[in-house]
A and B are shown apart, each in its own frame.
Chain A
Amino acid sequence: MLVINSLTKNYDGFTAVDNLSFKVGEGEIFGFLGHNGAGKTTTISMLVSLIRPSSGSAEIAGYDVVKDNLKVRSMLGYLPENVNLYSNLTAFENLYFFGSLSGVENVEKRINEVLKDLEMNSWKDTKVREFSKGMRQRIGIAQALLHKPRILFLDEPTSGLDPQGTKSIRDLLLYINNKWNTTIFLNTHLLSEVKKICSSIGIISHGQLLMTDSLINIKKKFGSEKSLEDIYFRIEGDQNNGENTVYSI
Chain B
Amino acid sequence: MGKILSIASKEIKTAFKDKAFLAVALLFLLLSILSVYIGSATKNAEITAYQDIVNLLKSQGATSIPAEPKIFPLSILKNIINYVAVIGSIVAIFLGFNSFSEEREEGTIKLLLSRPIYRDQLINGKLFGGAFVIAGLLIITLVFNCFLFTVVSGMNINFAEFSRLTVFFVFAFYYMISFYLASLFVSLKSQNSTFAFLLMLIIWMGVSYVIPQLAESQKNYVYVLNNISQTMNQMPQDTLISKTIEIFSPTVQFKNIGRDLLQVVPEHAQLSLFTLLKLNLRSIIYLLVPGLFMLFGSYNSFLKEGN
Q: Measured between alpha carbons, how far is A103 from B10 in the docked complex, in Å?
A: 15
Q: Measured between alpha carbons, how far is A86 from B307 in the docked complex, in Å?
A: 26
The reply to whether B6 and A97 form a contact with Cβ atoms under 8 Å apart is yes
A8 → chain B, closest Cβ, in Å?
15
Q: How many residues of B contact A (CB 8 A)?
A: 23
Determine which of B14, B116, B307 lies in contact with A74 in the assembled complex, contact meaning CB atoms within 8 Å.
B116
A64 → chain B, closest Cβ, in Å?
15
The reply to whether A88 and B14 form a contact with Cβ atoms under 8 Å apart is yes
Q: A84-B106, A101-B7 are in contact. Are A73 and B2 (CB under 8 A)?
A: no
Determine which of A73, A81, A83 lies in contact with B115 in the assembled complex, contact meaning CB atoms within 8 Å.
A73
Among A6-34, those with CB < 8 Å from B are: none
A188 → chain B, closest Cβ, in Å?
18
Q: Is B56 an interface residue (CB 8 A)?
A: no
**Chain A contacts for B113, CB-based, 8 A:** 50
The reply to whether B10 and A49 form a contact with Cβ atoms under 8 Å apart is no
The reply to whether B116 and A78 form a contact with Cβ atoms under 8 Å apart is no
Determine which of B3, B107, B116, B306 lies in contact with A80 in the assembled complex, contact meaning CB atoms within 8 Å.
B107
Q: Is A82 an interface residue (CB 8 A)?
A: yes
The reply to whether B6 and A100 form a contact with Cβ atoms under 8 Å apart is yes
Q: Is A48 an interface residue (CB 8 A)?
A: yes
**Chain A contacts for B117, CB-based, 8 A:** 101
Determine which of B3, B18, B306 lies in contact with A88 in the assembled complex, contact meaning CB atoms within 8 Å.
B18
Q: Is B70 an interface residue (CB 8 A)?
A: no
The reply to whether B108 and A85 form a contact with Cβ atoms under 8 Å apart is yes
Q: Measured between alpha carbons, how far is A50 from B103 in the docked complex, in Å?
A: 14
The reply to whether B6 and A50 form a contact with Cβ atoms under 8 Å apart is no
The reply to whether A102 and B115 form a contact with Cβ atoms under 8 Å apart is yes
A102, closest chain B residue (CB): B115
Please name 13 pairs of A and B residues whose Cβ atoms are closer than 8 Å in the assembled complex, sorted by A.
A48-B110, A70-B116, A70-B118, A73-B115, A80-B111, A85-B106, A85-B111, A86-B108, A89-B13, A93-B10, A98-B115, A100-B3, A101-B117
Ranked 4 nearest A-B pairs via Cβ: A83-B107, A100-B6, A74-B116, A84-B106
Could you tell me which B residues sit within 8 Å of A by CB distance?
2-3, 6-7, 10, 13-14, 17-18, 106-108, 110-118, 306-307
